[in-house]
Structure 1
Amino acid sequence: MEEIADQTRLIRRPEYRLFQTSDLDEARSRVSQVYCDHRLSSRSGKVDAFLYHMPFRGISFNYMQYGTESCIEPGYLKDFYLIQLPLQGRAHIESGGQVIESDPSRASVINPSAFTKMVWSHDCRQFTVQITKDRLERIAASCLGMPVQGALVFDTAMENGNAQHASWWRHLLSFICEYSQECSFYRNTEILETELDNIIRALLYSLNHNYTAPLLNDTQTVRPRHVRLAMDYIHGHISENLSMETLVELTGVSERRLYEGFRQFQNISPMRYVQQTRLQAVRSALQTCRDTSVTQIATEYGFTQLGRFAALYRQVYGELPSETVARR
């Protein structure tokens, strides 16, 4: 992993450094601002901690250490996935009932739904990739051709000797290298967002998870361009006012051809697909957003008739929206 260690110099720039401190409470507080609230302890009661943070929309790249043997207990990450690769040192990780020893030859993947605690060695320095649950599930749904039903769960261990895993790291490093150039084409927002989506898409095809089988099987069926265009647009604009007219104008085909394409390849009409995707987005938000009401979330995704929404939600998920909220 010398190449990854070398490329982290592009993140270790002054503009990306969030903090450096020997105060344990300050380290915990500052790290919590990037990740989530957590418990942090060390044998000495002190740390030599720093964090470099390269943020994008729904994904970030980070480089950090605590500088002393440290116990970190975030519990449930809830709304993001976290890939951690020690560039030196090691980390003992217990997550979702699995235990792995992570070092420069083995990264870890922490799922939002898995209770997690870790012990980092005194010399542990980690390169991490943080991806929000919303962005990853949006890309997964686009790849699958249907909304993600239930949690998407990765295997916890990511072996760097695996050819597919190594390919993903190379892809990621090439992006960081190019983005760091002064006149990079990634300064164009559309190109940047497309590439970040591709990084997540490549992750889904490279790592093993509970949607691997349907995802790989789905590659045997090649959807027409107009169907793929419509699906990608739906997932990227799900909170907007989507109509059949909008999709027809976007794809450049007739309403009938678009309808028939969805029926043939998705076994569903375009607007029914919009409805299913919105329902999944609402369910994901209800499971993770603690400070937002059911009404606010439903309205945000276009469900203005709340009685009809609640009935439809119950029909699909077997429970009322309020029952989903109660189980958070």
Structure 2
Amino acid sequence: MNSANSPDLCGRHFQNEMVFQPSNLLFQCHDLNETCLQVGQIFKPHRLKIIQQKSDFFASMHMVRTVGSIQLSRLEYSEDVYIDPDDLEQFYLIQIPTKGYAEIQYATHKFISYDQVASLLSPGQSLQMRWHAGSPQLIVKIAKEDFLFHCRQHLSHFQQHSLVFDPKLDFSRPSAAYFLQLLKTLMMALATEQHPLQHPLAFKQFESSLFNALIYGQANNSQEHFQQEHKIISPYFIKRTEAYIRENLHEPLNIELLAAQAGISVRTLFNGFKNYLGTTPMAYLKELRFEQAHLELINNEHLSITDVAFKWGFTHLGRFSQEYKRRYGRLPSTIHKQKIV
């Protein structure tokens, strides 16, 4: 295969993720019915049968929850199995084989999923699968309600009850490769104690990026509704959003939530802030949080700079210090020293 067409990152790079530890091992099981029950409790009830048993059956599953709408799992069967969940109903599912392959029959689509082509499965579509023996998969489960809330803030003309994706997530495509890079970052963050992305404020922003990589990068049934928005925003919406930001500075805010509070689309809110305030909603939020961090540091010499930065969502301390200096003319580390002197 031409290296120019091969992705740098694919499913096989997720074979030994440190995030999956004995502490989050859900089960190791030799009984098919018990395995089906355990997996069904995490996803949904389904049919599971061995296609042709060649040795003793064995299955194992790890599961990690995040502070957001995403759940990560690693699932493996020792034998070829047929899986029939029918309709996923309440969640989206991304399945990435880390080795081996699976056969996916999804609505009118039938394809082979392997380490370079994952399956992206949407609710509301019939689904049957055949997982081949010894083909562990990394599974990303996204809550339907939360994901569609996010989508509606971006796809203002999309009024469908559900977003349906092209089920083939091909990592040779730049958009899918970008999603996989974000996923790799998330796996590393969850495996690292006190990683900045484990902070709710930071995770909210990262989760939005992960969702956007899908809705803007993967073909879906909203694309026919994309059109330029000409709605003229009233200053009232901007003032209402400003007030909401100030009252909720300590909360995990993102632009999707702000748009929902204003009752307008993300694009409209973004354009309104640019037109009336000369900035973006998230840049405005960032400035207010810097103001709060600055006030706390100059008014209390006993506060830790790290604690103050993390409290207000600034998880990269080096960048926080440099941006603080650009705004206030000195590094935060010099404030307490000057008070002591």
Range into which the TM-score falls when normalised by the shorter chain: 0.5 to 0.7
The 2-side partners of 1:226 and 1:108 are apart by 44
Q: TM-score, normalised by structure 1?
A: 0.65
Match of 1:190 among 191, 201, 204: 201
Where do 1:1-328 residues align within 5 Å?
4-7=11-14, 8-42=16-50, 43-44=52-53, 47-56=57-66, 57-145=68-156, 148-215=159-226, 217=227, 247=241, 249-250=243-244, 265=268
Q: Residue 147 of structure 1: CA displacement?
A: 6.4
Q: Residue 246 of structure 1: CA displacement?
A: 6.6
Q: Which has the larger Rg?
A: 2
Q: Residue 190 of structure 1: CA displacement?
A: 1.9
Cα deviation 1:140-186 (Å, max 9, x = unaligned): 01112366423210001111111111111001111221232212112
Q: Which structure carries more relative contact order (alpha carbon 8 Å, separation 6+)?
A: 2
Cα deviation 1:82-110 (Å, max 9, x = unaligned): 11111111111111121111111211111
The 1-side partners of 2:131 and 2:87 are apart by 18
Cα gap change, 1:148 to 1:136, in 2 (>3 Å) = farther
Of all paired residues, the percent bearing the same amino acid is 21
Q: Residue 66 of structure 1: CA displacement?
A: 1.1
| SS of structure 2 residue aligned to 1:52 | strand
Q: Residue 61 of structure 1: CA displacement?
A: 1.3
Q: Residue 67 of structure 1: CA displacement?
A: 1.1
Q: Residue 207 of structure 1: CA displacement?
A: 0.7
Q: TM-score, normalised by structure 2?
A: 0.63
The 2-side partners of 1:64 and 1:202 are apart by 24
Q: Residue 48 of structure 1: CA displacement?
A: 1.2
* CA root-mean-square deviation: 3.3
| SS of structure 2 residue aligned to 1:104 | coil
Stretches (4+) displaced over 4 A? 1-4, 220-227, 245-248, 258-262
Q: Which amino acid aligns with 1:143?
A: H
Contact kept, 8 Å, 1:80 with 1:131, in 2: the verdict is: yes
The 1-side partners of 2:207 and 2:262 are apart by 30
Contact kept, 8 Å, 2:11 with 2:116, in 1: the verdict is: no
Unaligned runs of 5+ in 2: 1-7, 247-260, 270-341
Q: Which amino acid aligns with 1:167?
A: Y
The 2-side partners of 1:50 and 1:184 are apart by 27
| SS of structure 2 residue aligned to 1:9 | coil
| SS of structure 2 residue aligned to 1:10 | coil
- When the two structures are aligned, how many residues end up with a matched partner? 243
Cα deviation 1:178-226 (Å, max 9, x = unaligned): 23221211232222222222211221111110113445x45x8799898
Contact kept, 8 Å, 1:77 with 1:114, in 2: the verdict is: yes
Q: Residue 55 of structure 1: CA displacement?
A: 1.2
